[in-house]
Amino acid sequence: MKRLILIFSLLSLTVLNNSCKDDDAEFSDCWRSPNKTQLKLTLLEGPTVSLPAKVSMFFKVTDANNNPVGYLTEADFVIYEKGVNDSCPRIISEFEAKRKISGREQIFNHTTLLVLDLSGSVLQQSLQQVKDAANAFIAQIVPQLPDPSIAMGIYWFDGEDVLHELEPVTNSLTELKAAIDGINQNISNDNSTDMYGAVLKVDTKADQILAAYQAQNITAATSVVVFTDGQDRANRYPKQDAYDAVANSPKEISWFTLGLGNEINSVDLQKIGRNGFFQAASISSLTEIFKQVAQIVNNEANSYYFFEYCSPIRSGASNGLIIEAYKGNEVGFLQSTFDATGFTGGCQL
């Protein structure tokens, strides 16, 4: 109730301040105010309509720093519509317009690619702690009950010119953990570190994953998480090539780096981790750092929303639509139009 009162108050003030006019084609001019831009809603698909009166859209929510905003519920969204007789958008209550966030399996998939440094220093000094931390990371991202829209693949690198596959992309938590538990000190034949090569190769894999989903008309995103306790020693690839691969990768690919100890190259990891660089000062803090990264990756995966509602409008080929999102004191919106031709009662979600 307090939220509705606040919304009505802000809306009234905005209308007065912007002198809404009946012939104002840009209906946002009588609604928008500076405090509505702390969150960003990016429309990815829709609005689409289906009879008798359902409106659907798929969008992503980020904050002012472009960080993903996940786990919003139906109660965090407010719907405004502007029909043929409305000079300004009007708030639509939940009693007039049922709404829900629906399953996204058929329209969106999120894949995490975990890339582990298993060069000589890790295998000889911190292997068990890395395995424990990786298992904690996996457990926070992959549900115990398989979710078709959430998957992970695990890869590792040493000094060879190969990005080794530890576990192909799967939504099985059991298989992912078993793969980590199976790592032993004899897994590598080259104690050096080919980190730049690993970045170039995982970039190709991430691109291939996105392309495969796009071919099925499924929106997808990928998070790449690279762990290392050192820096590139193989000198097989120019570091600028790795930097450029990350910088030029699509926005649907998020890059995170996690460094352990004092021998890492922070400049490298900041460049490669364009969405986040994390450093564990000691082995004892490694699991906690992995969990922090997992939380961000989870927010990324859950910042995509397939939102549906039943519109009370019954006519009009170009009705105005605003979806407003709230997270605490932050608020943002998206604006579009929809065709209500043929709309009638009886909408079900």
**Is the same domain home to 219 and 119?**
yes
For the cut 80, the answer to whether the pLDDT of residue 340 exceeds it is: yes
pLDDT, position 236: 96
Quote the number of domains for the chain: 2
* 147 shares its domain with 296: yes
Question: 65 and 25 in one domain?
Answer: yes
Residues 244 and 143 in one domain: yes
pLDDT at 35: 58
Q: Do 151 and 296 have their domain in common?
A: yes
- Check whether residue 292 and residue 323 sit in a common domain: no
CA distance 261 to 211: 36
Residue 170 CA to its chain's centroid (Å):
18
My answer on whether 203 and 291 are in the same domain is yes
pLDDT tens digits along 28-83: 456 555 456 689 999 988 999 999 999 999 999 999 888 889 999 999 999 999 99
Say yes or no: 129 and 229 in one domain: yes
Q: Are residues 114 and 271 in contact, defined by beta-carbon separation less than 8 angstroms?
A: no
Helix (H) or strand (E) holding 269: helix 266-272
278 pLDDT tier (thresholds 50, 70, 90)? very high
- Same domain assignment for residues 215 and 187: yes
Largest Cα–Cα distance of the chain, in whole Å? 75
Residues whose CB is less than 8 angstroms from the CB of residue 142 and which lie 6 or more positions away in sequence, other chains included: 150, 151, 152, 171, 172, 173, 176
Residue 38's domain comprises 2-43+60-94+311-337
Is residue 346 assigned to a domain? Answer: no
The predicted structure's pLDDT at residue 247: 97
| Same domain for 289 and 237 | yes
Q: What percent of the chain has pLDDT over 90?
A: 74
Does residue 250 share a domain with residue 117? yes
- Does residue 344 lie in a domain region? no
